[in-house]
Structure 1
């Protein structure tokens, strides 16, 4: 990949908390060091600059193709609707540039490896208690998209199967249920002596700050229970490797490497029905095969 021919555009969610956006910018800086031959740019869906539309147009300048990589864990409305629509808009303004859209990070073994490492660290902080009496809660952002929530449930189940903990559950910080307080209440009722909360978040922000406050309240509410709270994923090597894998697959034209929502008929139907950026798109419909990307 030559720097002038191809731009890798990272799409971050964006946060009202400046420190969260700064962490994403730091991720980009570190990735540029790892891949000095790549042209890597950044934009945000909301709350930070450059915007998604501006980022796409800037990435196209001097490029023959743009590889769009969402730095996002789960696929909800932003990934399925908003980013593809912005790409379509950019295609109309940059007809000589090919835009290719990679999948989000998703529920996968590399993300599981991070969760397992976070769990081991939390258990060490608790002086390695019995996992049978230590409940685990995988805490996701929460979405109105059932497939996105299902990815969090999938990771909680995988974590259960690969550890000795008898109780691994999921909770959400908003939008959907159950919430953290309710799950902790259930775990205490069944006799858990320790509870480990594992945030399913890439970067810090207002929600991570809320989680820290909630765990503090829970410590006061249940003084007989010891709590440990993990950190967001941040700059783990698996995140860099997943992003690099996305680039390699798009370059090689690997089947399934392109995000199905790019060119998805569902969005046309949603707009015809007046739904706009629906967050209920869960890919129950069929897609045409993804376009292969020339190397």
Structure 2
């Protein structure tokens, strides 16, 4: 077995639609090509092998440290509960290996750059690329975690401030509201002549397929409005660069390079409500809390 000081474990969500899992594996193959000296592995939270538990145990073999990186845009239960709990179990099974947990991708300027680029392309595809008469809808998964939904709201606001569009709305495909159809109805009522739908998704899957069907139905329902819809993010350079920065920060021990402490609070509350496995955990390194 070849020894690597660090193993980078990328954690994808996983999809019932195998094409989405294939895309994540292809992303990993491209990242390995970018960083041929790194040992990069992948696992999935659900729907695809290897599982999160199996991926953590396998990554620890022959590694002094495992750098766990969620390939996830917004932090909700998976990021705040399931991955940390799986890391705890892996620490118990692999006491000779250090596990470091980096942040999810988050709302940040690199993600904003992807959205701005996709919005420009969508506008160029329209007959009348006038931002004053074109509504924009940022469409994401939705969560029961208000902070995760708040990150999407932040991205919508940043997108509006970065351009000339007077209307950048937020919609969700599930869990919370408003839904795409209701937001389109509102934009139609105030006179938007064109609407751009920007999916806030990393990879394809059943939800992306549903979004494309929804947009086709909306085109038939609102023939007076021209629609343009972008695709999921896929293999954007900004995603690779963000993950590479996460690796560098973890290796350097940069402050704030790990999951914030509020993840622990989230898990405590969820456990009290009967969710999750246990909050009895020991961190490899103690949290550093700022004075109140």
- Give TM-score scaled by structure 1 length: 0.92
Query: Displacement of 1:276 after TM fit?
Result: 2.2
- CA 1:57–1:226 in 2, change beyond 3 Å: closer, same or farther? same
SS in 2 for 1:115: helix
* 8 Å contact from structure 2 (residues 80, 263) kept in 1: no
* 8 Å contact from structure 1 (residues 80, 261) kept in 2: no
* 8 Å contact from structure 2 (residues 12, 44) kept in 1: yes
Within a 5 Å distance, the mapping from 1:45-64 to structure 2 comes to: 45-64=45-64
Query: Displacement of 1:262 after TM fit?
Result: 9.4
SS in 2 for 1:6: strand
Structure 2 counterpart of 1:156: 156
Query: Displacement of 1:266 after TM fit?
Result: 4.9
* 8 Å contact from structure 1 (residues 172, 178) kept in 2: yes
Structure 1 counterpart of 2:260: 260
Give CA deviations for 1:147-201 in whole Å, capped at 9, x if unaligned: 0000110000000001101010000000000000000000000000000000000
Cα distance in 1 for partners of 2:110, 2:269 equals 35
- CA 1:262–1:43 in 2, change beyond 3 Å: closer, same or farther? farther
Query: Displacement of 1:127 after TM fit?
Result: 3.5
SS in 1 for 2:287: coil
Query: Displacement of 1:129 after TM fit?
Result: 1.8
Structure 2 counterpart of 1:167: 167
Structure 2 counterpart of 1:119: 119
Cα distance in 2 for partners of 1:262, 1:49 equals 29
1:141 aligns with 2:119: no
* 8 Å contact from structure 1 (residues 250, 258) kept in 2: yes
Give CA deviations for 1:1-35 in whole Å, capped at 9, x if unaligned: x9611100000000000000000000000000000
Cα distance in 2 for partners of 1:139, 1:3 equals 43
- CA 1:20–1:263 in 2, change beyond 3 Å: closer, same or farther? closer
* 8 Å contact from structure 1 (residues 138, 168) kept in 2: yes
SS in 1 for 2:136: strand
Structure 2 counterpart of 1:38: 38
Give CA deviations for 1:98-153 in whole Å, capped at 9, x if unaligned: 00000000000000000000000000111452110000000010000000000110
Query: Displacement of 1:277 after TM fit?
Result: 3.0
SS in 2 for 1:264: helix
SS in 2 for 1:241: helix
- Give TM-score scaled by structure 2 length: 0.92
Q: Unaligned regions of 5+ residues in structure 2, if any?
A: 278-285
Aligned residue-pair number: 280
SS in 1 for 2:169: strand
SS in 1 for 2:275: coil
- CA 1:269–1:135 in 2, change beyond 3 Å: closer, same or farther? closer
Cα distance in 2 for partners of 1:200, 1:243 equals 18
